[in-house]
Structure 1
Amino acid sequence: MIKEFPKISIIIACLNEENYISECLESLLMQDYDGDFDIIVSDGGSKDKTIEIIQILQINNSKIKLINNPNKIQSAGRNIAIESSDAEYIAYIDAHRLAEKSWLSNLWEVYETKTQADLKIVGVGSVHYDASKTNFSKAQEIAFQSLMSGAGSGNFLNKKTVEKVDHACMCLYNKKIITDVGLYDESLPVGEDIELNHRLTILNDYNLYLNPGAINYYHPRKDFSSLLMQQFNYGYWRQIVIAKLRSANKLNSLQMKKIEGMQLKTYIPALFVLFIVLLFIMSFFIDYAFYSYWIIVLIYLFILALASVFYWIINKVSPVNLIIVFVAIHFGYGSGVLTYLFNLKKIRR
């Protein structure tokens, strides 16, 4: 069988990414994909040196195209880039990431192979690892792959072989299919990627695969407060994504079961945070609540300490940083879910 290598557009939506955009683009220019590809950067009006850096790289690289994203947010930027592409396939990557040399070719290899037997294939996703190589960033990489953050064997980050998944990151897609289902939801400033993947796989019965051999690297949050806010936004907007999925017309029982399962999973950190907050308030008025609160907190910290020591032994990562990261994930995400459930923040449509 003769292998085909169609043109692929790599799309990037960016805003004020002067620290990372050069590294990202240079990694993409070095891709070993045997076919033609271009790189479409959709900038949301950067005020730093992002545009200047891109324009300098354009001088000697005709593959790079720079377009304007007047709506600023990532979902709109990706849609504009997709619509400007003349390729049959697109692959997206974030500006604060870089790709291994074989990232694009490994995505296409699995797509081409699966297409021979799967008429419902829509795309192939990749896995990511830490690019910053700091103690705090390494702790995040380990934490997000662990059971303590809710990432079991079903999580795409823990896959070891090519498998069918409901969600993955930095994916290659058939452009016609994602265009037909409506592209990215531009009402979502956060979570637009997971919403599209679930709309494709759960609501429209397309198949998305994960290739753990397709690797990219990302720069995670630099400190506790920024990680806490990231997780808050993930928890909050995840509820909006789920609400959008639930509102789809004519859901069958299997589709509803998957959506309800996702929602129940998000309630676990939310209920924990709610319990801790209520117990803390009650501790000012009821003696047993005071003692119960501190017992629960100490048990929680003890469990985190045990888990962190375990991961330290296995992965040589700072247990103190792991504890800090776990707390940020649990309380940030849980607080975001609670904020949505109690309607404490105005929902942007």
Structure 2
Amino acid sequence: MTHSDEITSFPSVTIGIPVLNEEAHIERVVSGFLSSEYPNLLEILIADGGSTDKTREIVLELASNDPRIKLIENPDKYQSFALNRMISLAEGEVFLRADGHCVYSSDYLEQCIDTLIKTGARNVGGAQRYMAKNRVQAGVSLATRSFLGNGGAKYMLEDYEGYADTVFLGCFWTEDLKKLGGFNTENITNQDSEFNLRLVENFGESVFISPKIKSWYYPRDTFFKLFKQYFRYGRGRFLTRLLHPKTGPIRGLIPFIFILLFSIYLALDLGLNVNLYSLEITILLLIILVIESSVLTIKKSKLFKGEIWRGEAKTPGMISNFITVFISLLLMQLGHFSGFLYQSIKNKIFNHSGW
């Protein structure tokens, strides 16, 4: 018996994929969904934000062989605009959001629909699993397994099953997406979390995570890109906090509050004619980070070799992973703090409400 045989209802499905320069992955992703056993896949919408590689040509070639594939123009480039354009055109009862560079389990679509129906949730998804092809990605993939790297977010825990404040990607009822106005276009990096908060505020517990829904994500492949990503995350979390001051998760505030208070403490120690032991405390914090990086590298070594590492080169050793985990954890915190601070200054001092 296939998994599709277990589903008692088969609502029509629209898959929406925002893309930008995904020539290396888009054919694999689309072909994977087309090979699904789910019997009511109505359409695959692909919103292109102005790709300069061969993404568009690949999509058009795929569309010429299957009319369910449709290329959508997204002149605004960002994902929130792409998603809203696809939502406005979606004909399926269910809207499954996908990314153009992830890897999905063969039963991803079936598991999403099964969970959506059985739980009665408004949005379902799985944990954000990571893969790595180079040393930086290896460090990031391991760092996200730490509380310092994930903030305790439930969607980062592979074995978690239950309700949460957000999920990775998501499978929604199209009617809900349209009713709530789609994704916030002023918040271009945290639009998924912001929309899920609106779901919870309107419907109560309605966002469900299932460990059976499996997909894998390649993180940023350089430290500069990682810092830039978390800088944008910090900006997005500030904007989400403005819109949802009561329901926004506290984990979005912790890096900013801690580093801000610590910075003030260091300034006081330097400015006052007293010893506040800032050097000793800084060393202590670095030691904690070293210990966390070491423990993480050792504890997750089997998982790293078996699931995370997908590179063609030799598998990085523990010393290499320790170094990249340490740097990744540090950059995640500093990037998030810097972005949150930048956006708060932009909003509070310069009265700029959006991105």
Output the TM-score relative to the length of structure 1. 0.85
CA offsets 1:60-97 (integer angstroms, 9 cap, x no match): 33332111112221111111111112111110011221
Q: State the match for 1:338 in structure 2.
A: 341
CA contact (8 A) 2:48 2:77 kept: yes
One of 76, 99, 102 as aligned partner of 2:104? 99
Q: State the match for 1:251 in structure 2.
A: none
CA offsets 1:283-329 (integer angstroms, 9 cap, x no match): 7656766x844323322221111111111111126111110110011
State yes or no: 1:111 paired with 2:96: no
Deviation for aligned residue 1:167: 0.6
Paired with 1:340 and 1:112, the residues of 2 have a C-alpha distance of 39
AA at the equivalent of 1:218: Y
Deviation for aligned residue 1:275: 4.1
State yes or no: 1:236 paired with 2:235: yes
- Call closer, same or farther: CA 1:83–1:160 in 2, change over 3 Å: same
CA contact (8 A) 1:266 1:337 kept: no
Deviation for aligned residue 1:127: 1.9
Q: State the match for 1:253 in structure 2.
A: none
**Secondary structure, counterpart of 2:183 in structure 1:** coil
State yes or no: 1:130 paired with 2:130: yes
AA at the equivalent of 1:165: A
CA offsets 1:112-163 (integer angstroms, 9 cap, x no match): 2123xxxxx31211223223343322322232232123533x5222152531
Q: Percent identity?
A: 24
Paired with 2:179 and 2:220, the residues of 1 have a C-alpha distance of 34
Contiguous gaps of at least 5 residues in structure 2: 1-5, 302-317
CA offsets 1:192-228 (integer angstroms, 9 cap, x no match): 1111111111344251211111111112111111111
- Call closer, same or farther: CA 1:30–1:139 in 2, change over 3 Å: farther
AA at the equivalent of 2:162: E
- Greater shift, 302-311 or 45-54, is seen at 45-54
**Secondary structure, counterpart of 1:214 in structure 2:** coil
AA at the equivalent of 2:340: V
State yes or no: 1:49 paired with 2:54: yes
- Call closer, same or farther: CA 1:161–1:280 in 2, change over 3 Å: closer
CA contact (8 A) 1:106 1:214 kept: yes
- Greater shift, 200-209 or 103-112, is seen at 200-209
Q: State the match for 1:252 in structure 2.
A: none
CA contact (8 A) 2:129 2:158 kept: no
Paired with 1:35 and 1:86, the residues of 2 have a C-alpha distance of 12
Paired with 2:134 and 2:277, the residues of 1 have a C-alpha distance of 37
CA offsets 1:148-195 (integer angstroms, 9 cap, x no match): 23533x522215253112210121111111211111112222111111
Paired with 1:97 and 1:42, the residues of 2 have a C-alpha distance of 16
Q: State the match for 1:348 in structure 2.
A: 354
One of 285, 289, 302 as aligned partner of 1:300? 285
Deviation for aligned residue 1:273: 2.5
CA offsets 1:209-250 (integer angstroms, 9 cap, x no match): 11111111112111111111111111111111121124xxxx
Deviation for aligned residue 1:54: 1.5
Deviation for aligned residue 1:278: 4.2
Paired with 1:208 and 1:266, the residues of 2 have a C-alpha distance of 18
Paired with 2:215 and 2:234, the residues of 1 have a C-alpha distance of 24
One of 13, 37, 43 as aligned partner of 1:38? 43
CA contact (8 A) 1:166 1:202 kept: no
Paired with 1:13 and 1:216, the residues of 2 have a C-alpha distance of 16
Paired with 2:40 and 2:224, the residues of 1 have a C-alpha distance of 43
CA contact (8 A) 1:128 1:157 kept: yes
Contiguous gaps of at least 5 residues in structure 1: 116-120, 247-255
Q: CA RMSD in A?
A: 2.5
- Call closer, same or farther: CA 1:265–1:208 in 2, change over 3 Å: closer
Aligned pair count reads 329
State yes or no: 1:70 paired with 2:75: yes
- Greater shift, 204-213 or 67-76, is seen at 204-213
**Secondary structure, counterpart of 2:76 in structure 1:** coil
CA contact (8 A) 2:87 2:177 kept: no
State yes or no: 1:225 paired with 2:231: no
Deviation for aligned residue 1:332: 0.7
